[in-house]
Structures are given as structure tokens and as C-alpha cells.
């Protein structure tokens, strides 16, 4: 992993309202080492800060290998992935098979809409509650929904996108827990893509380890697309869980699917 600085996380309400104009590699100051407010977290963990223009992420190892492997196996038994039309994407009126498996769990009645599908949350399983609560203990944030992506091997992937749906609470980061094979997550600034305002901005590449937790804080998903590209050498599976906070009255009134 490159382009990060190591420091203890502050709660988002205490963070300075400035955006960094370039990727930073800094050593923590003494003040940063001894952040106040740490006692608010019942399980404080060391965080690595990842910053670039409009990108603000925090990375940490939440579970050790033994815990992560156990959770992976539990999820393999518990999670029911979508099939049929719910396992397809709608892009410009065309239907495509999703190159991975997906499932959604969360509080009753919650629905998440993206790429032309409306996915209704199934009730939390005990393992998902355990992981969700571990994320809350480590971060101080609460979550009411999780999107699960399962990649059977390095051929499964996810294309470039932003998690910027209007029903997501911008005050709450998206908390991404990875279990199983390590894979690269690539962030690309929206202005580094094609178009009249194209600029030379380096992508940010992270390796997401087994048991890791990545927080994507506001405004990362406004300015940066992210993808999990194909990695043909990866032959083992990976499960990624993105915990989110959905604002109920901002949900679309689309057709609910189960
Ligand atoms: O599998 C990953 O790490 C990425 C998942 C993702 O991009 C998403 O849930 O929006």
C-alpha cells in the first residue's frame, strides 16, 4: 500500500474541513499520536490515513488471521446470494451478469438501489451482527445495511463506480471489511478519466488484506471512482462487506426485490 500516513483516527465531526491538494506521506505528530476522544471508542485500533485531493480514507486490520478465516467460513455457510434477475446489472437498458455474487442484509425494510436494481435487505445473521458491531466498536459509527460481494477468484471483479447514491448518509463513512484473498482496490479521480476537464492525477492503489477494514470518508465518493480489477493469479475466494448507513426517507420507491 502506498500514499498514506499513520495516525490515530479522529471522529469526522472533529476533523478539519480542508481537503489535501496532493497525496501525502507524513509521520504522525506527537499531538496526532495522542488524539483526545480515543476513550469514546470501546476498541481503539491503529489506523493508517490515506489522503489525496478529495480522498479521505482510513485503513486498519480489524481481525487477525484466525478470526478472519473463521468469519469467512461462517459467512460461507450463512450468506444467501442473489440469483436470477437480482444477479444482473442494468446498464443503458441492457442486462449483464454481475461478475461476482452479491447479497444485501440490514434493518427491516431497508432497500439499496444501484445500477438499475433495487435490493431489499435480508435480516442480519449472527455473524454479520458480530462483524457490524466490531466495526462500530472500532470506529464509533453505527450502520443499518451491508452490501456483500463475493469474488470466487481473481476473475471476479467490480468495475469503476462511486458509492454516491442519495440514500446514503454522507456523515457516515462506508466501512469496507475484507475477508479471504488479498485484492487491490484502485481509486481513480473523476477528473483523471476522459472528458474536457481531464487532469493528470495519480490513481491510489490499496491492497486490502484478510481481516482489514477500510473507511471511505466523505467526500471520497464524490470525487473518486473505485474498482476491484481482475487479478488472474488469485485463485482463492474473497468476501467484501461494505457497511453503510441508509437514510430511510431518502430511499427510492422502486420495485422491491428479495
Ligand atoms: O470488494 C471490494 O473491495 C469493493 C466493493 C465495492 O466497490 C462496493 O461495495 O462498492
Residue whose CA lies nearest to ligand 1 atom number 3? 240
- Return the residue whose CA atom lies nearest to atom 9 of ligand 1: 242
Structural domain for 87, as ranges:
40-250
| Whether residue 222 has pLDDT greater than 90 | yes
The residue ranking higher by pLDDT, 20 or 43, is 43
Separation in Å, CA 16 to CA 19, 25, 57, 212, 232 = 8, 18, 14, 25, 41
Answer yes or no: is 8 within a domain.
no
| Dist CA 103 CA 80 (whole Å) | 7
Residues 63-91 have a mean pLDDT of 93
Asked if residue 33 is part of any domain, the answer here is: no
Structural domain count, the chain: 1
Question: How many residues are there in the chain?
Answer: 258
18 occurs within a structural domain: no
* In a domain? residue 101: yes
Least confident of 139-143, 149-153, 157-161, 254-258: 254-258
Nearest to 131 by CA among 105, 93, 97, 103: 105
> What local confidence, expressed as pLDDT, does residue 116 receive?
72
Contact 200, 30 (CB under 8 A): no
Q: What is the pTM of this model?
A: 0.83
- C-beta of 251 in contact with ligand 1 (< 6 A): no
Count of CB atoms within 10 A of residue 234's CB? 19
Q: Is the pLDDT of residue 144 over 80?
A: yes
**Residue 214 sits in a domain of what CATH number?**
2.60.120.590
**Residue 258 belongs to some domain of the structure:** no
Any ligand 1 atom below 6 A from CB of 104: no
Q: Does the residue 34 lie in any domain?
A: no
Q: Is residue 216 part of a domain?
A: yes
Per-residue pLDDT for 31 more than 70? no
Contacts of residue 48, defined as CB under 8 A and 6 or more positions apart, other chains included, come to 1, 4, 5, 6, 58, 59, 60
Q: Is 59's pLDDT higher than 50?
A: yes
Q: Would you say residue 15 lies in a domain?
A: no
Ligand 1 pocket test target in 119, 165, 173, 242 with most atoms within 8 Å of CB: 242
76: alpha, beta or left? (left if phi > 0; alpha if psi -120 to 50): alpha
Kindly state if the Cβ of 148 falls inside 6 Å of ligand 1.
no
Amino acid at each position: 500500500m502506498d500514499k498514506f500516513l499513520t495516525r490515530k483516527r479522529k471522529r469526522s465531526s472533529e476533523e478539519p474541513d480542508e481537503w489535501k491538494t496532493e497525496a501525502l506521506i507524513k509521520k504522525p505528530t506527537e499531538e496526532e499520536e495522542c488524539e483526545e476522544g480515543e476513550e469514546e471508542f470501546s476498541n481503539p485500533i491503529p489506523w493508517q490515513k490515506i489522503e489525496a485531493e478529495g480522498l479521505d480514507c482510513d485503513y486498519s486490520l480489524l481481525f487477525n488471521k484466525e478470526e478472519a478465516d473463521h468469519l469467512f467460513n461462517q459467512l460461507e455457510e450463512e450468506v444467501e446470494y442473489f440469483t436470477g434477475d437480482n444477479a444482473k446489472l442494468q446498464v443503458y437498458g441492457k442486462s449483464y451478469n454481475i461478475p461476482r455474487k452479491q447479497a444485501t442484509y440490514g434493518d427491516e425494510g431497508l432497500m439499496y438501489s444501484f445500477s438499475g436494481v433495487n435490493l431489499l435487505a435480508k435480516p442480519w445473521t449472527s455473524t454479520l451482527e458480530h462483524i457490524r458491531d466490531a466495526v462500530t466498536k472500532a470506529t464509533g459509527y453505527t450502520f443499518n445495511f451491508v452490501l456483500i460481494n463475493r469474488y470466487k477468484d481473481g476473475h471476479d471483479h467490480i468495475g469503476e463506480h462511486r458509492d454516491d447514491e442519495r440514500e446514503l448518509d454522507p456523515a457516515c463513512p462506508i466501512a469496507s471489511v475484507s475477508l479471504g484473498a488479498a485484492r487491490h482496490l484502485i481509486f481513480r479521480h473523476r477528473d483523471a478519466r476522459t472528458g474536457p476537464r481531464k487532469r493528470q492525477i495519480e490513481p491510489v492503489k490499496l491492497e486490502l488484506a484478510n481481516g482489514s477494514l477500510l473507511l471511505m470518508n466523505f467526500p471520497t465518493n464524490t470525487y473518486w471512482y473505485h474498482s476491484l480489477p481482475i487479478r488472474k493469479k488469485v485463485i482463492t475466494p474473497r468476501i467484501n462487506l461494505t457497511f453503510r448507513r441508509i437514510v430511510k426517507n431518502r430511499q427510492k420507491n422502486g420495485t422491491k426485490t428479495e
